[in-house]
Each structure stands twice: as C-alpha cells, then as structure tokens.
Structure 1
Amino acid sequence: MEPDETDETAVTRELAEETGLSVTVGRLVGHVERAAPNGVYSIFDYECQVTSGLLRAGDDASDVAWVDGATLDTLPTTDGLVEALSQWNCLPRT
C-alpha cells in the first residue's frame, strides 16, 4: 500500500496494475499473515466485481487465466491458498 491509501484504493490500483482490470471493491472475505524477510505480511482479501478491462499478466507474472475449480486443482498454488479460499467460501465453481 502507498502512504495514506485506503484498502479500497490499494485493491483498485493493484488489480489495475497487475491484471489490467478495473473493479468495484466489495466486502472483506478474509485475512492471512505470511512470513516476510523482515517480519510478516498481512494480506486482506476482498470480493471484487470486474467493471472493465482485458485480463493480462502483470510484470511479475508469466501467465494469467480465469479458471474453474477443477482446473485450479491442477495448478501449483501458494501453500495455504486453496485452504483459505475454501474457508472463505471463495473457490471457483467446478
């Protein structure tokens, strides 16, 4: 997040930068903490509705895609991601 940025502003900006999508930010669905080199990252996940844009990979990713639950099961994911999404009832439909 940038200084003085709200969660909503940061989510909107980051999604535009990293995916090419404009969104309306909805409710907070969950929060996790992950170890970082100099402490801990606090990660807050929000529901979002795409309002415009074309999905594209940002400069820190080699690929991006919309996937269903069955496809997600075949992809490598960050440890704990699928479990967190499941707890928050945010997994894609199969």
Structure 2
Amino acid sequence: MKPVLAAGAVIVDDAGRILMVKRGHDPERGCWSVPGGHVEIGETTAEAAAREVLEETGLRVEIGAELWCATIDYPGDRSYEIHDFAATIVGGDLRPGDDADDARWMTAADLASVPLAAGLHDHLRIAGLVPESF
C-alpha cells in the first residue's frame, strides 16, 4: 500500500521551546507531535504544513527548509510519509483547534516527560533541537 502523504512544521521560539500539539485522533491519539497532517490533493507538502499549523494552532507561519522526511508504519498496513519543515510564526493567536486536543510550547525537559509521536524524539535530537541526552 502506498503511504499517506503528510506534512508538519517545527516551530521554535526565542527561548528554544518547540510548539507541540496533542493529537486528538488516531494514529497516536494522546501523543504529542509537531503540528501537521494529511496533504490534500493539489497541495505541496509545504502548503499542507502551513495549513495544518493554522488549523491546529491558530498561528500563521512562513515555511522554511525541509528538516526531515520519515516513513512511519502503523498496525493494519497503514503507513505515512511525513515531511517536516522549519517554520516561523507570522501571525495569529495560539489556541488548539481542528484535531489537536492541546497546543503549547515545550522545553526539552517537557518533551522528555510526555508521550511523543513515533520517531519524533530521534528526529528532534538529530536536528539539534533537543540535547543528545534527551
């Protein structure tokens, strides 16, 4: 089966905190992740990342470089090809929306104490966004 194409955004504030959302739906309901979701027909992955951030957090962003692409396999032969981009906030007010149960800024210590989406911890570490000891 062909993986579902998805995109997200990694947003870091001036204090080094990462914007995270608590997933409100499967896969991985209840886990924390960067804002993101399915790419719609006719969208680029970057456009999808910006749209998903707005829907899940109320924030408008400018999308930057792609940080990583990961394929995550889930039970039941479901697979997602996820493209995550760096992003910068250009407007809006932070509030959880769409399929996010919560949205908040998290430090590396915060991230170490919550359940994270599959593989996210490694990608954040490799990208230098959390310490090696994370």
Q: TM-score, normalization: structure 2?
A: 0.62
Q: Could you tell which deviates more after superposition, 46-55 or 80-89?
A: 80-89
Output the CA distance in 1 between the equivalents of 2:95 and 2:129. 21
More helix by share: 1
AA aligned opposite 2:68: G
Alignment of 1:18 with 2:56, yes or no, is: yes
Corresponding residue number in structure 1 for 2:104? 65
Taking every aligned residue pair, what percent have the same amino acid on both sides? Answer: 35
CA RMSD across the alignment: 1.7
Greater relative contact order (Cα 8 A, min sep 6): structure 1 or 2?
2
AA aligned opposite 1:40: S
AA aligned opposite 1:8: A
Dislocated runs of 4+, deviation >2 Å: 36-39
Aligned residues: 92
Structure 2, gaps ≥5 residues long: 1-38
Alignment of 1:50 with 2:89, yes or no, is: yes
More strand by share: 2
Q: TM-score, normalization: structure 1?
A: 0.85
Corresponding residue number in structure 1 for 2:40? 2
Shift of 1:27: 0.2
Structure 1, gaps ≥5 residues long: none
